[in-house]
A and B are shown apart, each in its own frame.
Chain A
Amino acid sequence: MKLLSVAIAIAVGAIGPALGIGMIGSKAVEALGRNPEAESAIRTTMILALAFAEAVAIYALVIALILKFA
Chain B
Amino acid sequence: MPHISIKAEKIFELLGVGVTNSMIASFIVFLLTVFIVLYYKHQSTLNRKGNFYYLIKFFVKSIYDLFYSVLGDKTSVFFPLLFAFFFYILLENWFGLLPGVGSLLIKVKEGHEEVFVPLLRGNNADLNTTLALAIISVFSIQFFSIKYLGIKKYLHKFFNFSDPIMFFVGILDILSEFSKILSFAFRLFGNIFAGEVLLIIVAFLVPVLASFPFIALEIFVGFVQALVFSMLTAVFLSNAVVEHH
Q: How far is the CA of A59 from the CA of B197 in the complex (A)?
A: 15
A contact residues, range: 10 to 19
Q: Is the CB of B69 within 8 A of A40?
A: yes
B239 close to A (CB within 8 Å):
no
Q: How far is the CA of A53 from the CA of B231 in the complex (A)?
A: 15
B191 close to A (CB within 8 Å):
yes
Contacting B at CB under 8 A, from A15-35, are none
Q: Is the CB of B69 within 8 A of A55?
A: no
Q: Is the CB of B231 within 8 A of A48?
A: yes
A44-B66, A65-B194 are contacts. A58–B6 as well, Cβ < 8 Å?
A: no
Q: Is the CB of B186 within 8 A of A55?
A: yes
Q: How far is the CA of A44 from the CA of B232 in the complex (A)?
A: 11
List, in ascending order, chain B residues with CB within 8 A of A54's CB.
187
List, in ascending order, chain A residues with CB within 8 A of B7's CB.
70
How many chain B residues touch A (Cβ–Cβ < 8 Å)?
Answer: 22
From B70, B186, B187, contact of A51 by CB (8 A): B187
A64 CB to closest chain B CB (Å) equals 9
Q: How far is the CA of A38 from the CA of B92 in the complex (A)?
A: 33
B interface residues (Cβ-Cβ under 8 A, vs A): 4-7, 66, 69-70, 183, 186-187, 189-191, 193-194, 197, 224, 227-228, 231-232, 235
Interface pairs A-B: 9 shortest CB-CB: A58-B190, A51-B228, A55-B187, A62-B190, A61-B194, A61-B190, A70-B6, A58-B187, A69-B6
